[in-house]
Amino acid sequence: MIPAEFHGAWVRHGIAVGGASDSEDMIVWWLQAPSRHADLRTPMTGDGEVTCFTGTTSWDGRALTWTHDLDLAPSGTADVGTVAWDGADLLESGSWEQDGRAVPYTERWRRLPGGGPLWALRSATGRIVRTGKYALTVVDGRESGAEFTATAWLLEGDRWEVHRAWPKGAQQARPPYSLDDLPAGWTIDESAA
């Protein structure tokens, strides 16, 4: 389990790569339950690269490590980011390997409003992470010839609405399940108030 200050729904508000100024051309949600996460990154406009993964998060007192269990583009390595606070914003810094050299980055994350239940569900090919009124459903059906799909949900009153989904036009997952009425094949990974 990671410290409660990291739990909840986050939206990225800029990324600085290689010392450049912050910019943002993606809609990025990171949902963090006590130890499970889901992350979806889609272009703000037009077509472009989509990133999506789920897994476990750990904390060593200085850095967060995101280990992926479902990943649209598996790399085989965990994401590690040193974190610091800038007011209410969380700054994540690290680097990735590109053409044999390390490329530094800093991402600025802002907490989305609203609190509420934190839970994560799993099935053989799917994961759902809910943080308050936000949820991400990720299903990797590629081994059976289906698609990898991701749906970002926003709870409006008592009804889940699709915020965005990938791929566009794909058969979308049903809204997040109730913990009291899970269908066959789904189990509770973790749950916290």
188 in any annotated domain: no
In a domain, 72, yes or no: yes
Residue 63 has pLDDT above 70, yes or no: yes
193, pLDDT greater than 70: no
pLDDT score, position 111: 97
Tokens 């729904």 correspond to: 9
Indicate whether 187 belongs to any domain.
no
| CATH of residue 63 | 2.40.128.280
- pLDDT digit string, tens, across residues 138-177: 999 999 999 999 999 999 999 999 999 999 766 667 788 8
Sheet holding 118-122, edge to edge: 159-166, 148-156, 134-140, 126-131, 118-122, 187-192
- Is 132 a domain residue? no
Reported in sequence order, the residue ranges of the chain that DSSP labels E, i.e. its strands, are 8-17, 26-32, 36-43, 51-59, 63-71, 79-86, 89-98, 101-111, 118-122, 126-131, 134-140, 148-156, 159-166, 187-192
- What domain range includes position 84? 4-111
Domain assignment present for residue 117? The answer is no
Which residue(s) pair with 11 in the sheet?
29, 110
Model pLDDT, residue 171: 61
Domain count, the chain: 1
Q: Does residue 139 form part of some domain?
A: no
Give the predicted TM-score (pTM) of the model. Answer: 0.94
Mind listing the pLDDT tens digit for each residue in 98-134? 888 889 999 999 999 988 999 999 999 999 999 999 9
189 lies in some domain: no
In a domain, 162, yes or no: no
